[in-house]
């Protein structure tokens, strides 16, 4: 009974990053409904399962130790988790667009485009980045619960640091999910960046020859850059355009 209470308390502590981010969004009055927040969190948690399936499928042996380390930390763990997040976020954005009956994403007007190409507005990319951040925290919640079930001693370290990594990588995957159709090169670069951050963190936190402080620094720095990207907020895409007073008077 006592052990169960401790586990529940630690799981509740794991929810602190989610609570803090939700309070931040509400305090800043970002255009983010509670339903969007919760479903983004759920999408991130659901990404945990395809990642597990992919990781079980990608079990190989290597004669080279370096090749084995690279494959395990960067491909089998980091890349599978980021691709699973991408898959669920693509599904999330597709369903949300269908529900809201949006025919296309928030695009820069044709008069402001170059070379006839379509560009996503910074407003949409920032909202997708925030959605990915939430999804990363959702993934972290479920992963922390799975680790705590086997070894509760690892949970205190994972509560903040692992959430920071998944949130930072998830924010980049969220942006990639909306950019994939219109700017695929930039989307792929964000996916590779997320997988690299994730892989380097896994390597540093797992190998005995490296200091955990380096892994923590990477996690916090990556999360800080994501927060700075989101911190300006975004405008409401459904709001009517502002009317120039001079135009109105004329």
The confidence score (pLDDT) of residue 51 equals 95
- Residues 81-131 have pLDDT tens digits of 999 999 999 999 988 888 775 544 554 443 344 344 445 677 788 889 999
The Cα 162–Cα 34 span in angstroms is 24
pLDDT at residue number 108:
43
At 117 the pLDDT is 43
Rounded distance, CA 110 to CA 159, Å?
45
Task: Note the pLDDT of residue 225.
Answer: 92
- First-to-last alpha carbon distance for the chain, in angstroms, is 75
Top-confidence residue, 200 or 157: 200
Q: What pLDDT is attached to residue 245? A: 40
- Check residue 11 and give its pLDDT: 67
Phi-psi region of 116 (alpha: psi -120 to 50; beta: other; left: phi over 0): left
Question: What confidence score (pLDDT) does residue 122 get?
Answer: 73
For position 39, what pLDDT does the model report? 94
Does residue 2 sit in helix, strand or coil?
A: helix
| Residues 164-193 pLDDT 10s | 999 999 999 999 999 998 889 999 999 999
Residue 233 zone, left/alpha/beta (φ > 0; ψ -120 to 50; rest): left
Structure tokens at 105: 């994403």
249 pLDDT higher than 80: no
What does the block give as tokens for 19? 């609570």
Burial, 162: exposed, middle or buried (Cβ in 10 Å; 0-12, 13-18, 19+)?
Answer: buried
Res. 213 pLDDT band, cuts 50 70 90: confident
Q: Tell me the mean pLDDT in the region 147-171.
A: 78
Q: What is the pLDDT of residues 214-244, one digit of tens each?
A: 888 999 999 999 999 888 666 544 443 333 3
Select from 31, 41, 27 the least CA-distant residue to 132. Answer: 41
In which residue are the tokens 């084995």 written?
Answer: 68
Which tens digit of pLDDT belongs to each residue from 11-56?
Answer: 677 788 899 999 998 888 887 788 889 999 999 999 999 999 999 9
Task: Copy the structure tokens of residue 232.
Answer: 């300006």
Helix (H, G, I), strand (E, B) or coil at 107: strand
Residue 74 predicted with pLDDT over 60 = yes
**Measured distance CA(52)–CA(55) in Å, rounded:** 5
């Amino acid at each position: 009974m006592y052990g169960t209470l401790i586990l529940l308390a630690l799981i509740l502590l794991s929810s602190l990053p989610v609570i803090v981010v939700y309070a931040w969004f509400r305090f800043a009055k970002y255009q983010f409904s509670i339903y969007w927040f919760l479903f983004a969190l759920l999408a991130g948690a659901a990404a945990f399962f395809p990642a597990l399936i992919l990781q079980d499928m990608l079990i190989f042996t290597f004669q080279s130790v370096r090749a084995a380390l690279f494959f395990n930390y960067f491909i089998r763990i980091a890349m599978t988790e980021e691709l699973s997040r991408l898959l669920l976020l693509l599904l999330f954005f597709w369903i949300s667009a269908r529900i809201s009956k949006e025919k296309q994403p928030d695009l820069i007007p044709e008069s402001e485009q170059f070379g006839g190409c379509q560009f996503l507005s910074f407003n949409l990319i920032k909202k997708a980045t925030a959605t990915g951040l939430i999804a990363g925290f959702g993934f972290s919640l479920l992963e922390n619960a799975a680790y705590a079930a086997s070894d509760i001693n690892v949970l205190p370290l994972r509560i903040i640091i692992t959430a920071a990594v998944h949130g930072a990588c998830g924010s980049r995957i969220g942006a990639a999910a909306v950019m994939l159709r219109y700017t695929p090169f930039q989307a792929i670069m964000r996916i590779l960046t997320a997988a690299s951050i994730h892989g380097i963190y896994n390597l540093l936190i797992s190998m005995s020859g490296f200091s955990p402080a380096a892994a923590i620094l990477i996690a916090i720095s990556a999360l800080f850059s994501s927060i700075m990207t989101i911190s300006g907020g975004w405008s409401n895409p459904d709001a009517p355009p502002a009317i120039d007073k001079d135009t109105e008077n004329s």
